Chain A
Amino acid sequence: MIQLDSVTKTYPKASRPSLDNVSVGIEKGEFVFFIGPSGSGKSTIIKLLLHEVQPTSGKVMVNAKDVTSMRSWKIPHFRRSIGCVFQDFRLLPNRTAYENVAFALEVIGKTKAVARRVVPEVLELVGLGGKEHRYPHELSGGEQQRVAVARAFVNRPLILLADEPTGNLDPDTSIEIMRLLDRINRTGTTVVMVTHDSNIVNQMRRRVIEIESGRIVRDQARGVYG
């Protein structure tokens, strides 16, 4: 599903690479944590998978497609197969929960009728039934992140990328979000999550890949934060 082959990424003007000759494979349906201290390079992996940045060397394969050599006009279509959740939610403040999720469908050309069918369904799935018409500022942090998850999942992507999705949430709310991601994972969606929340990693007992100074120092099935 996801394959990094000796990927090195050095940002311009950086003294050392953010990722240094990293090779890793992730199978379909896996749930993987990337952990490590700030600046270790774990967020760079998300950016590489989204084709937001290009590797300095090496090859990135997603859904059996070589992202590295992908033509730029193909990127939008490619991104439709990937859902993405961030620490800061990235919701549109002037749109309701429903509209935020529907927006993701409409801008890729789905009709309003399709949105009317699938958006309530996915909002129900993330546990926001009844709060469809609230604006983000009327929702708690956890609820806002649920909207973001709903938006990421509404297209039924093959992969869900989560960049510190619990970074702004309290421990209890974080665990609820993790349950949600777990449920999404059980539908067959590959989940890749970058975090430094040790609590969560320890509770979930999933595959843990630890990165330090741009190198993989540990890759453990059913691991803990350590």
Chain B
Amino acid sequence: MRFKYVLNEVLVGLWRNVTMTIAMIITMTFSLLGLGVSVLGYMQVDQMQDFYYGEIRVAIFLNDDVTEAERSGLNAALDANPLVEEKKYESKEDAHARFQTLYADQPDFLRSVQAQQLPESFRVQLKDPEGYEAFAQSIQGIPGIQDVVDQGQMLDDLFDVFGTLQVAALVVACVMAVAALLLVANTIQVAAYSKRREVAVMKLVGASNWFIQAPFVLEAVVAGIIGAIIGWLLLLGGKEFLIDGPLQQLTTIITPIPFDNVLLQLPLMMGAGALVSAITGWVTLRFYLRV
């Protein structure tokens, strides 16, 4: 009976104040969506780092007028270098072949570039992918080198962009969370006011505090959970219709987003929504429904 009573109070409460309930659900939705996007992005970057850093190479481009002696000298130096895990020589022709596959969909650009214009290079994989600085120092001054490019540095730049997006999503989530908190607090105050007679009688006849407060807190929790579910559906829709749809090109850079990771956001968002609502509701009532 107690459970039925509380459940009934929650549903009646949500319905009585339905505009406020909708506002609460919408803010919760976008706040939790921001959280979901941010966490998903974090997991994605983690996964991409594992994927890409395994293949990271340092490219040592050689001068156009490099001599045979300089080339073999560099070759020997790299073989002797303790930081090098593996190295590969790429001739102008190799570079051109790779270039052609990379820009296969831009034939105009391809036609304008000849094999002679591309530099030959050594591709080096380091034992420690983070140890670029030390490696660059160790080969400094060897003749024939035109330029040394750390591809890891390029990836870091890419990940910086992702990081910025994540932070942006998190900031949006926090701002929306503040709005959601205020709405929860306000909704509960309105609900408590509209039920002030009942609350007064309940206190008078000695209803326990949790029994008085539970319907109000649960109202907020239910709204939070509904917001989480809608937010997660938006997240899922975003993956299905944006990332897997028009933005599919991105998956050549971004590794595919596993469905498991998306699924994992549901309990996370629901938990966060429920917890935030419950704590806000409870704190509001502490100030509003003094015994």
Contacts and interface: CB of A to CB of B under 8 A. Distances in A.
Contact of B201 (A50, A75, A103): A103
Interface residues of B, number: 18
Given A90-B204, A109-B2, A111-B1, A76 B209 contact: yes
Interface stretch (A26-34, A77-85, A200-208): A77-85
A23 interface: no
A151 interface: yes
B1 A80 contact: no
B211 A92 contact: no
B279 to A, nearest CB: 19
Contacts of B204: 50, 79, 84, 90
A77 B200 contact: no
A72 interface: yes
Nearest to A115: B1
Nearest to A113: B1
Interface string A148-165: 000100010000000000
Interface in A79-133: 79-80, 82, 84, 90, 92-93, 103-104, 106-109, 111-112
B285 to A, nearest CB: 14
B207 interface: yes
A108 B209 contact: no
Contacts of B205: 79-80, 104, 107-108, 151, 155
A90 B291 contact: no
B5 interface: yes
The residue among B206, B209, B211 with the most chain A CB atoms within 10 A of its own CB is: B206
Interface residues of A, number: 24
Contacts of B291: 72, 75-76
B211 to A, nearest CB: 6
Contacts of A84: 204
A90 B200 contact: yes
Contacts of B200: 90
B287 to A, nearest CB: 15
Interface in B188-226: 197-198, 200-209, 211-212
B1 A106 contact: yes
A106 B5 contact: yes
Contacts of B201: 90, 92, 103-104, 107, 151
Contacts of A109: 2, 208, 211
A73 B206 contact: no
Contacts of B203: 76, 79
Nearest to A92: B197
Contacts of A151: 201, 205
Contact of A77 (B198, B202, B206, B212): B206
Nearest to A51: B291
Interface in B168-206: 197-198, 200-206
A173 B227 CA distance: 55
Given A82-B206, A93-B197, 20 more contacts: A73-B209, A76-B291, A77-B206, A79-B203, A79-B204, A80-B205, A84-B204, A90-B201, A90-B204, A92-B201, A103-B201, A106-B5, A107-B201, A107-B207, A107-B212, A108-B205, A108-B207, A109-B2, A151-B201, A151-B205
Interface of B: 1-2, 5, 197-198, 200-209, 211-212, 291
Interface pairs A-B: 8 shortest CB-CB: A79-B206, A80-B206, A107-B207, A104-B205, A76-B206, A76-B208, A107-B202, A111-B1
